[in-house]
Structure 1
Amino acid sequence: MTATMTPAPARPPVSEPSALRRVLTTPTVGPLVALLLACAFFSFNSDQFLTGGNFSLIIQQVMVVGTLAIGQTLIILTAGIDLSNGAIMAFGGILMAKLAADGVVPPLVAVLLGLLVCAGFGALNGLLVTTIPLPPFIVTLGMLNIVFALTHIYSQDQTVTGLPDQMTFLGETFRIGDTNVTYGSVVTIGLFLLFAYLLSQTAWGKHVYALGNSPEVARLTGIRTNRLTLGVYAVAGLVYGIAALLLVSRTGVGDPQAGQTDNLDSITAVVLGGTSLFGGRGTVIGTLIGALIVGVFRNGLQLMGVASIYQTLITGVLVILAVTVDQLSRRRNR
């Protein structure tokens, strides 16, 4: 007697997500909608908001924190965090300004040395994270205090003035129509586009995402995770050095008090831009949108005459909402 086998029931075909659904689930869509809604709201409440000069001012106000946030994005994509970036930027700015103002080296050499020192601090963070290893939060918290102290020791708590023109060139403006635009704003936008390309179109960028998703899986696929992590922190440090140059160019001085809250502001921009604090998900274009959200809210509320303390309050609420959305999204995708 021959046994008959009952064929297994056919599985229903798995439908591919529609193009609309893919667009709606893109991490940058939510922040972009929030930015557009904020612009619409403030344009109805202030006649000065929708002007070229005001938008140029917003970009100038966010270019330093936005540049810091590029480096912060790279580190958060690897599931790390950097609390020392504002302090590193401040030290780099003081070093550049003091070397140039005192005539120790030519201004361009001073800038180069400042960039290298900032990259060195970033590399040291990465070295401590990978070799001991220590949690990024602890390493960068310690580095924050170390670099903060070095900044005040080196500057003797004195603001550096009398900078040569080469140091402040990026703070100068050119005209587009009736609007003055700073060269530093162009540099910031260029950096965002550069790192957007590197993360999305190069093997290095794909490895960064893989590292953030699962370091062990990344290692098993042949990625040298320690070297990659070290490189990410060093590149982030170099970006902090560029932020230092932008800060010095915009203010025209080397300020030892600079950057004290910029570490938190950069994290705010990254989170509002849709990058997950757990790593492996996010884009630098989202970070740009996040920085603009903060800039638009602060600028718009100021035009409406709202006290600055309420601007800080609203920014805090936005951060909590963004992290909550990220958590809910992660749970739904499990």
Structure 2
Amino acid sequence: MSAVDERSFRNRSAEAFLHNPALGPLAALILAMVVFSATTSTFLTVDNLSLVVQQSLVVATLALGQTLIVLTGGIDLANAAVMVLGTMVLARLVTEGSSSAVALVAGFVVCAMLGAISGGLVTMLNLPPFIVTLGMLTVVLAVGRLYSEGNSYPVTDNLLGVLGEGGYLFGQIKVTHGMTLAVVMFAITWYALTRTAWGRHVYALGNDPEAARLTGIHVGRTRFSVYLVAGVIYAFAAWQALGRIPNADPNAFQTGNLDSITAVVIGGTSLFGGRGSVMGTVVGALIVAVLRSGLTQAGIDSLYQDVATGVLVIAAVAFDQVVRRRSR
């Protein structure tokens, strides 16, 4: 291959990855599954693969909301804390005698309100999202522990635990209602980002806020709406969490925010905004779950699993930088 042809091939490859950021993560997911299938006898089984999907469910939902915020060039360090507070509100209200429907509405209102507060601070005061959500992380963690009074609340209510129930596809593959809900949420978000004016505004805001403003996009309104929608998504994650583990614990999901960011970055969404996809986030969440499951079954210490995940994150960000430079 001549130098000109090689350069042309590289440019085409960079353009392909720029327009299809989920391609690289998808290849990595397939490779990981092949490796773990070859090195362990228990990885490639119906029960284990179903378990991997179930384990990735809450983080994937958190990552969905995180994706919207990262696409605008922001970040949310408080998403897991908001979700945990949502579980506490749901469980405690039911424990104290409220109906499950009232508790569910209250949980959604609380999560949406916290998302709106973060969005308002970022939009109206023009504060950095990192600082705003770092402060929100501290506040929400404290509020959650104060509200719970240091207690955990077992969940026995049918409505609050319904997302952990389900049936079997083809008589073998366990499919929970939480999985079905996740598919619906991801499909709706994909449609909103790729087929609506709102989605185009989100990408434009992430690419260049000033250019977006000059083209007539209401930058503040779009940014605020993203944080509000993300808050609602975190409420769904809280509901899923209670279906997965029927116990609301104020100390749960302590690394959920970092896991969601990891899934987003590994899935090909740029931390600088303007580039990424919902499908990439799905793949990124699955990569994290597959990596942990495969390494656990291979007998690898959990600390080394964290090392492998951290290396993947750094590699994904470095790759994003390379692709961006080549596409200019």
Instruction: Tell me the SS of whatever aligns to 1:133.
Output: coil
Please list, as runs of the form range in 1=range in 2, the aligned pairs for 1:239-258 lying within 5 A after superposition: 239-258=233-252
Alpha-carbon shift at residue 21 of structure 1 (Å): 7.8
Distance in 2, matches of 1:97 and 1:44, equals: 43
Larger gyration radius, structure 1 or structure 2: 1
* Aligned residue number for residue 181 of structure 1: 175
Describe the superposition over 1:70-97 as per-residue Cα deviations: whole angstroms up to 9, x where unpaired.
0000000000000000100010010011
* Aligned residue number for residue 117 of structure 1: 110
Match of 1:304 among 290, 294, 298: 298
Distance in 1, matches of 2:13 and 2:219, equals: 35
User: Moved runs in structure 1, 4+ residues, more than 6 A?
Assistant: 17-21
> Would you say the 8 A contact 2:14–2:326 is kept in 1?
no
Alpha-carbon shift at residue 267 of structure 1 (Å): 0.3
Instruction: Tell me the SS of whatever aligns to 1:180.
Output: strand
Q: 1:212 to 1:162 in 2, by over 3 A?
A: closer
> Would you say the 8 A contact 1:97–1:163 is kept in 2?
no
* Aligned residue number for residue 5 of structure 2: none
**TM-score of the aligned structures, taking structure 2 as reference length:** 0.94
More helix by share: 2
Give RMSD over aligned pairs. 1.8
Describe the superposition over 1:159-207 as per-residue Cα deviations: whole angstroms up to 9, x where unpaired.
0014311110111131112122221122112211211111011111011
> Would you say the 8 A contact 1:275–1:283 is kept in 2?
yes
Unaligned regions of 5+ residues in structure 1, if any? 1-14
**TM-score of the aligned structures, taking structure 1 as reference length:** 0.92
Match of 1:237 among 228, 231, 234: 231
Distance in 1, matches of 2:62 and 2:155, equals: 25
* Aligned residue number for residue 54 of structure 2: 60
> Would you say the 8 A contact 2:11–2:326 is kept in 1?
no
Distance in 2, matches of 1:308 and 1:19, equals: 39
The AA in structure 2 aligned to 1:292 is: L
Describe the superposition over 1:276-295 as per-residue Cα deviations: whole angstroms up to 9, x where unpaired.
00000000110000000000
Q: 1:141 to 1:20 in 2, by over 3 A?
A: closer
> Would you say the 8 A contact 1:101–1:164 is kept in 2?
no
Describe the superposition over 1:99-132 as per-residue Cα deviations: whole angstroms up to 9, x where unpaired.
11211x2101211110111011001001000111
Describe the superposition over 1:273-324 as per-residue Cα deviations: whole angstroms up to 9, x where unpaired.
0000000000011000000000001001111111111111100000000000
Alpha-carbon shift at residue 55 of structure 1 (Å): 1.0
Match of 1:209 among 195, 203, 224: 203
Distance in 1, matches of 2:305 and 2:11, equals: 39
Residue 43 of structure 1 pairs with residue 37 of structure 2: yes
The AA in structure 2 aligned to 1:153 is: L
Unaligned regions of 5+ residues in structure 2, if any? 1-7
Q: Identity percentage over the alignment? A: 51
